[in-house]
Structures are given as C-alpha cells and as structure tokens.
Amino acid sequence: MPNVVSGNTKGLAPSEIRAVAKLFQRSVSPDEIVSLDLAREMCFIGEQLRRRVGVLINRQGRIEEVILGTKDILFLPDLGRYRLGRARLRNLRLVFTDLTNEKNQVTIPYDIYTDLERLRFDSVVGIRNARNRTAMAYAYLIPANGSENATTHTEVVADLGNLELDFREFIESVEQSLASDVLQLDADDQVGAVIVGVYDGPHDDPTTSQLELRELARTAGVTIVDAVVQKRKADPKTYIGSGKLEELVIRCIRVGADMLIFDTELKPSQWRAITNSTELKVLDRSMLILDIFAQRAQSSDGRLQVELAQLKYNLPRLVDQDSGLSRLSGGIGGRGPGETKLEIGRRRIRGKIAELEKRIEKLKGARDFRRSRRRENQLQLVSVVGYTNVGKSTLFNLLTGSTVTAENKLFATLDPSQRRLFLPTQTNEETGEMGRTVILSDTVGFIRKLPKELETAFRATLEELYEAALLVHVVDASDKDAIGKYNAVRQILEQMELSHTPELVVLNKIDAADPEWVESLRAELNGVPVSAAKRIGIGDLLKVIDSQVPQKKAFVPEPDPET
C-alpha cells in the first residue's frame, strides 16, 4: 500500500503534503509508546499547518497511517483491514497532536476517548510542545467490572523525555486484564445482547414489543443485558441515527454485549450501514425468529422450509457479508475476484432456492395422501391455532395422550402434529354408537411481524387449516395482552382467508390468571376457560368441541356424465 496521507489535506501545497508523508519513514521501538523525535516532529508539523496530526503505530513500531485533521478534529480512516487482536484490542495505538490553548497540559478530547472505546485501540496518546519539553497524556481501556464509566484510564506525563514505560509489557498487562474480564463473561456461556427499538406510531407499545423480543432472545439462547428505546421516526439510513449508533456501540462495550438486536425488520441498506459501523453482530427481529426456527425444526419438511426462508431473507444482504469484499463495490479497484465471488455467491443461493422449492413441492404429495386417507375414513379435522407460547401443545398432549414437545418458550412447536381425538359425548344417529373420532392438528404458533419469507414458506405446512371443520383458538388467559395477541392471530387468519372457518376460543392457563380478568375475557371472546397444565375444564371443552364439529356426511362421488 502506498504511503498516502489521509484526512484533511485540502488547501495544502504538494511540498507540505510531502513533508507530512515523511512521517511514514519514522519508526519507534516496540518498547516505546512514542519516541521523543517522532513526537517533536509531529508537533512541529502540527504547529506549522495549524492542523491536528495523527499517526497509527502497530505493535512492531511501524507507522501504518498518517492522518491530518482540523485544529480540533482528527479524521480517522476506515480501519476494517486492521483486525482485532487477542482480547479484542486492535494492535494499533493512535498518537495525535494537541493544539488546544492549554500551554502545559495535554487534553484528550471526548471524540478521541470515543474512538478508544469504539475502535479498541491499544491506547490513544496526546502530545504537545510545552516550555522546551514535550508533554504527553495517554489513555487505555480497563475492565468495566459492571461500571458504565470506569472503562478508560488516563495518565498524564509532564515530560516525555523522562518517561520510563516499557510499552510492550504494559500493553500485554492491559490485554491480560481485559482477557480475564472477557473470560469471566464467557464463563456464563451466554451471549450478551442489547435490544434496540424505535417507536413512532400512536399504536406502538414499546413495553409489549420489547417484552416479546426478550422472550424471542431467551428462546434463542441470548441474554439481554440492556435495552435502548427511542421515540422518533426511524432513520432511513441507520434506523437510529449515526450519532446514536456510536453511543450504542460504546454502551455495548461497557455492558459486555457482543450483539445488537433490533425490534424491527431492518432494510438491507440499514443492516449494511450498521454492520459497517460496528464489529458487533447485528440481528433484526426477523433474523432472530429465523434462527429460532432453524434451531427447532425437526422434520425434513420443516428444515427445508426454514432453510428456504433464510436464503430468501439473506440474499439481498449477501453483498456485505464479508467486510473485505464489501468495499469492492465496482468501478476502479472494484472489478475482478471480489465482485466475481459475490456474484457467484448470489447465483448459488438462487440455485439453492430453486432446488428447495422443488423439494418442498414434492413433499406436498405426502400431505395430499394423508388428506385423502382422512376423507376415506370420514374424519373431521380440528386444528389448534393461537399465538406462540399460549399452551397449544400442552393442551394437544392432554387431549390426545401425545408427547409433542411443550416448553415455556416461543415456537416450541414448529412441525405440525396430527392425532386422533375421541369425543365421547355425541351419539351417531346412523349407527347408534356413542362418541366419535376426529383428527386434532397442532400447528406452529403465530406472532406479530412474522417474516414474510417464513410466512410464505410455512403456508404449505398450514394448508391443512383450509380443510379444518373447526379452529380451536387458544388464548393465554394469564397474559394482560391476551386481547392484542388474539387480534393479531385473527388478522393473520384473515390474511390467509380463514376468517370464515368456525372458531372456538379456549382461555388457557386460568390457574395462573386473575379470576376477574378471566371473566372479562370470557365475556368478550365467548371463550371456554381451561387449564391444560392442571387439567381444569377439559370435560367441558370436549363437549363444546363435539357440539361445534358437525357430523361428516358420507362421501359420494359425482356420477360420470358418460355413463
């Protein structure tokens, strides 16, 4: 790479730029934080140009970057190619000249402290000439230990010539203390994340939405360590605004978070802008739901549909998956292997999507066969639907004696299950037999803002609902947002053109709910109160199901018009 001065070079003569570029020829001993000769030369150049001068020095003492700023601001270059080292420090220290009016003491400005935390420099070092000596101040990171403020430490040196500091040993000790702090966090074996939400509409409820996002994170195995809520319109570029994003990155460093989770579906351009501004892992609500589905899908059908949804969701975001290739965006220096590799990746994903769609279409035959067998046996279908984690699978297991996975987590059930259910209360008028059998189907739970890719992919799985004689809509009676979630499910059913299918509302978990609240829900939704966990009200529920599922008439094929 050519030794090119970066930053604010506008208005400088070529000779002045060449003088600044000579700093590349300097080097310092690995044991020195900065040499006295380099510091004096930088201060001299800064005073002559009336601009802040900075250099980035690596652990070996070589100058990697020379930077010019204004009198007050230093414009740092893109540091994506400088990878973080052990304990997540960058193996670079920033040395800069201080041109403030303070004559004897070096001032490290707030934006430089921000760069220290955000970019994980080994240290930041301010220098200035003061009364025939070179004054210095240097700052470095220290373990947070739960504090939001004590993450940096600053030392002031009156005369650089008298400094006794072995920088190599010093930075090793800093890394060891940071590494022990990281190991302490890792000992919990959990991923820490900060959730971020921007809410502007009058109907937006940050509390309810973020509680649900926390449950999604818990289901995915992520620990939420902090939350950020903004009441404003979403920024079209970065969703939360560039200034707030910088604050957010520093906040993550202070609380020990490795991940940002946004309570929305980020546009590809927003996701790229955020990931290019931070080295944290960035997920949005849709990515989190897709990850949960990927963890929990068990059947081949379910796994295929999740994979298809993930590929369709990630395709427009492929361009910036690799931070090195992301800078090869076309034009001079952008053609060739980088762009070719991206295009190959896109073609492979499109080919994989086409292959998965064909395989899913083939699996439709198996579902058609099951439906034909059910028609032959004259069995009615009753489908259990509802919001995720309302107890559908627990109720399904109790009614059918099954062992379908039932956990206190969102999307515990992804793969629909069907079992025979005996209804003992109604007598068959034709045979005189007491009771009858129907097929009870357990389905995946619904949720607000379900990713469109998942909604499309799982429509094939949920097509059984179109043949249901009755939808048993389970509602969590212990949830204060029960009405809101009931309406969210009804909205999805309407989108699926299932609003005309007969519905029976079941108020589950009444053992954990306030009786007055249950009574108000019962009056508003005309629901049947039960507790699947405590086996309360199950007999009444079976009677209501039996009364609302009509007897299936014998199937008589239409006569052949030619006979």
Task: In whole angstroms, give the CA distance from residue 152 to residue 67.
Answer: 23
Q: Looking at beta carbons, which pairs linking 64-71 to residues 24 or more positions away fall under 8 Å?
A: 64/92, 65/6, 66/3, 66/5, 66/6, 66/20, 66/21, 66/23, 66/24, 67/5, 67/6, 67/7, 67/96, 68/5, 68/6, 68/7, 68/8, 68/9, 68/12, 68/20, 69/7, 69/8, 70/8, 71/99
**Per-residue tokens: 129:** 């000439």
CA–CA distances in Å: residue 449 to residues 114, 141, 272, 284, 443: 35, 40, 21, 11, 18
What single DSSP character describes residue 537?
Answer: S
What number of CA atoms fall less than 13 Å from residue 356's CA on the CB side?
20
In 3D space, the residue among 476, 475, 474 whose CA is nearest the CA of residue 382 turns out to be: 474
What was the pLDDT predicted at 86? 45
Q: CB 302: neighbour CB atoms within 10 A?
A: 20
pLDDT at 475: 94
What distance in Å separates the CA atoms of residue 429 and residue 422, rounded to the nearest whole number? 17
- Phi and psi (nearest 5°) for 120? 60, 50
* Separation of alpha carbons 100 and 48, rounded Å: 14
> In what side-by-side order are the strands of the sheet with 434-442?
417-427, 434-442, 381-386, 470-476, 503-508, 528-529
Reference 485, options 409, 388, 410, 394; nearest CA is 388
Helical ranges in 59-205 per DSSP H? 110-119, 167-186
Q: Which amino acid is at 97?
A: T
What does the pLDDT profile of the chain (563 residues) look like in tens digits? Answer: 568 999 999 999 999 999 999 999 998 999 999 999 999 999 999 999 999 999 999 999 999 999 999 988 888 887 765 655 444 688 899 999 998 876 668 889 888 988 888 788 999 999 998 878 899 999 999 876 655 445 889 999 999 999 999 999 999 888 888 776 554 444 444 568 899 988 886 666 677 788 888 888 888 888 888 888 888 888 888 899 888 888 888 788 777 788 899 988 888 889 888 888 787 888 888 888 888 777 766 667 777 877 888 888 888 876 544 443 343 334 333 334 444 566 667 788 888 888 888 887 777 666 666 656 655 556 788 988 888 888 888 898 888 887 665 555 555 455 567 888 888 765 555 555 567 888 888 877 788 777 777 666 566 556 677 788 899 999 999 998 899 899 988 988 888 888 888 999 999 999 999 999 999 999 999 999 999 989 999 989 999 998 888 876 444 344 444 43
Residue 7: Cβ within 10 Å count: 21
Q: What percent helix, strand, coil does the chain show, rounded to 5?
A: 40, 20, 35
User: What confidence score (pLDDT) does residue 506 get?
Assistant: 94
Question: For residue 107, which of 127, 134, 121, 132 has the smallest C-alpha distance?
Answer: 127
The whole model's pTM is what?
Answer: 0.65
pLDDT at site 95: 96
